[in-house]
């Protein structure tokens, strides 16, 4: 069966039927708008557009993977403010000949990724489109705390990261090298984990509010590559960030993929996006839980500096 056989309202009904609603959803799908709990009296909101062929490929990722990834990158944006996600709303464009099984898997991916943080898909919009297009918006609640922005880094602070770095980039490199055929055989190995990381990021959601409680000065999620993203912090805060390349733990999947392809694993760690790790600055005397690794420090000046790397390589530009 194809999506076009369902029609617009059939598709909406089918999607809604697979989506349980979380506690924050006071009014779910079926009206002109949803109504979401916002006990803080302020609401955090972030939106992303994902386009087939640019942000994902249907031959490289399943519908379920795309759903999880699309949800994850938006939920991570909310966590990066120090907030707890409450819901997503999703605008979904899809071709009439899209298999309904793919739509179901996509829906389930959204559902399961939201469940990781106690959120849910509270509403959306369905329309026809030659490509699969996802407009995903996440809301979150700050629980009375101040939002952690990009402009709060101060000289003397340490720079720390939580979550994985370079995994998704290593997996993407394997797929780009034409190794998709091998991916199934790699399951359970470090190479397989790299491919899985590209398909399905695992942002460290609880580390966002945790960092806020620990007094983080600045924070963001690493979506375009650590160097590029920390560049935004340096610019917004008017500081210089110095990273210690020896301080980064290179994950086994990253190391294995680098060996397989003859690449420099640190390249992926420093410039690879899409793992949605969190990067934050903290007061120098902070005692960080093990989820956070100190990888550098904030000093006076500008830019992001990594000893031994003459120039900072760029991250992702969606028009290049």
Asked if residue 1 binds a copy of itself (CB under 8 A), the reply is no
Residue number with CB closer to a copy of itself (287 or 319): 319
316 is known to lie in a ligand binding site = yes
Asked if residue 313 binds a copy of itself (CB under 8 A), the reply is no
31 is known to lie in a ligand binding site = no
17 is known to lie in a ligand binding site = no
Residue number with CB closer to a copy of itself (27 or 249): 27
Asked if residue 119 binds a copy of itself (CB under 8 A), the reply is no
Rg from Cα positions in the chain: 20
Q: Which of 15, 103, 119, 142 binds a copy of itself (CB under 8 A)?
A: 142
Residues from 41 through 100 that contact a copy of itself (CB under 8 A): 41-49, 51, 54-55, 76-78, 80-81, 83, 87, 89-93, 96
276 is known to lie in a ligand binding site = no
Host H or E run for residue 12: helix 3-17
310 is known to lie in a ligand binding site = no
77 is known to lie in a ligand binding site = yes
Host H or E run for residue 303: strand 303-305
Residues from 220 through 249 that contact a copy of itself (CB under 8 A): 220-221, 236
Asked if residue 299 binds a copy of itself (CB under 8 A), the reply is no
Minimum CB–partner distance for residue 314 and a copy of itself (Å) = 10
Asked if residue 144 binds a copy of itself (CB under 8 A), the reply is no
Q: At residue 273, what are phi and psi to the nearest 5 degrees?
A: -100, -175
Phi-psi region of 166 (alpha: psi -120 to 50; beta: other; left: phi over 0): left
User: Burial letters for 68-106: b for 16+ Cβ neighbours within 10 Å, e otherwise?
Assistant: bbbbbbbbbbbbbbbbbbbbbbbbbbbeeebebebbbbb
Tokens found for residue 71: 């949800």
Q: Residues 215, 278: contact at Cβ < 8 Å?
A: no
Q: How far apart are CA 238 and CA 152, in angstroms?
A: 9
Total residues at the site for a copy of itself (CB under 8 A)?
74
Asked if residue 145 binds a copy of itself (CB under 8 A), the reply is no
Host H or E run for residue 176: helix 167-176
Residue number with CB closer to a copy of itself (140 or 171): 140
Q: Which of 107, 120, 137, 281 binds a copy of itself (CB under 8 A)?
A: 137
Residue whose C-alpha is closest to residue 279's, from 71, 29, 80, 49 = 80
Binding-site residues from annotation for Mg(2+): 32, 46-48, 77, 125, 221, 224
């Amino acid at each position: 069966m194809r999506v076009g056989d369902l029609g617009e309202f059939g598709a909406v009904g089918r999607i809604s039927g697979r989506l349980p609603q979380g506690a924050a959803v006071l009014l779910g799908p079926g009206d002109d708008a949803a109504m979401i709990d916002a006990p803080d009296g302020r609401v955090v909101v972030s939106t992303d557009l994902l386009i087939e062929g640019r942000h994902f490929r249907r031959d490289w990722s399943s519908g379920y993977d795309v759903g999880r990834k699309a949800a994850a990158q938006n939920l991570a944006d909310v966590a990066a403010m120090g907030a707890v996600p409450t819901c997503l709303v999703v605008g979904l464009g899809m071709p009439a000949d899209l298999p309904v099984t793919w739509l179901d898997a996509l829906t389930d991916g959204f559902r399961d990724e939201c469940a990781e943080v106690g959120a849910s898909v509270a509403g959306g919009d369905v329309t026809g489109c030659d490509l699969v297009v996802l407009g995903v918006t996440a809301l979150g609640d700050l629980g009375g705390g101040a939002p952690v922005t990009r402009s709060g880094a101060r000289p003397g602070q340490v720079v720390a990261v939580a979550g994985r770095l370079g995994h998704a980039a290593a997996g993407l490199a394997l797929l780009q090298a034409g190794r998709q055929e091998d991916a199934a055989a790699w399951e359970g190995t470090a190479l397989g984990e790299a491919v899985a990381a590209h398909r399905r990021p695992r942002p460290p959601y609880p580390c966002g509010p945790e960092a806020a409680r620990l007094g983080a000065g600045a924070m963001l999620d690493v979506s375009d590559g650590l160097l590029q993203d920390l560049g935004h912090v340096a610019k917004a805060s008017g500081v210089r960030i110095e990273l210690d390349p020896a301080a980064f733990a290179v994950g086994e999947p990253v190391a294995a993929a680098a060996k397989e392809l003859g690449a420099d694993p640190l390249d992926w760690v420093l410039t690879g996006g899409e793992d949605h790790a969190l990067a934050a600055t903290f007061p120098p005397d902070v005692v960080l839980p093990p989820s956070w690794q100190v990888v550098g420090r904030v000093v006076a000046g500008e830019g992001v500096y990594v000893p031994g790397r003459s120039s900072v390589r760029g991250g992702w530009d969606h028009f290049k």
